[in-house]
Amino acid sequence: MTLHDRLNIRTITETDLLWLDTASQAVGGPMVVSLGTPHRLSDYPTFIAERGSTPVGFATFRIAGLEAELLALAATEQWQGTGSTLLAAVETEVVQAGCRQLMLCTTNDNTDALRFYQRRGYHFKALNAGAFAEVRRIKGITGEVVGQHQIVIRDELVLAKHFTV
């Protein structure tokens, strides 16, 4: 695989599940908790980005009526356009399904993601201060978790993008 190989987006298959398990460590593991609800990523639609035949990122989302939620987005090769391409694919998919909004949750430490999403039209909807305590309880994590940039993870931030039809 080289960066000259074209980035291709496809839907997940059974054979990707082992890879997804490992790749999901970038978002805290195969089970994500958003707004106090646990979601197992393998239960939801997922797009895989691949370069050549090598998976280099994934995006998992769920559709609930007029709203959709991006449950996870990760690129194993950062800053090469993978996250942007995956996010655009999810947006196209949910708009085609009739959704008017795509929301997502991230954490206070993830300043790279906060920059990334705001640059792509996502606005802050809510700050759930201290919400990570409940995530730790659900996941059985004892003690503080130090996230990106050596920041202790405490809070959940909700962002959303609206689509006009």
Ligand X SMILES: CC(C)(COP(=O)(O)OP(=O)(O)OC[C@H]1O[C@@H](n2cnc3c(N)ncnc32)[C@H](O)[C@@H]1OP(=O)(O)O)[C@@H](O)C(=O)NCCC(=O)NCCS
Which of 83, 122, 131, 153 is the binder for ligand X (CB under 6 A)?
A: 83
Nearest distance from C-beta of residue 120 to ligand X, angstroms = 7
The answer to whether 132 touches 155, Cβ cutoff 8 Å, is: yes
Which of 68, 73, 90, 131 is the binder for ligand X (CB under 6 A)?
A: 73
Nearest Cα neighbor of 43 from 54, 55, 32, 56 is 32
155 part of the interface to ligand X, by CB under 6 A: no
The answer to whether 73 touches 87, Cβ cutoff 8 Å, is: yes
What are the tokens at 56?
Answer: 């280099």
* Closest CB to ligand X among residues 67, 165: 67
Nearest Cα neighbor of 54 from 76, 81, 24, 27 is 76
* Closest CB to ligand X among residues 6, 165: 6
What is the binding site for ligand X (CB under 6 A)?
Answer: 26-27, 73-75, 78-84, 104, 106, 110, 112-113, 116, 119
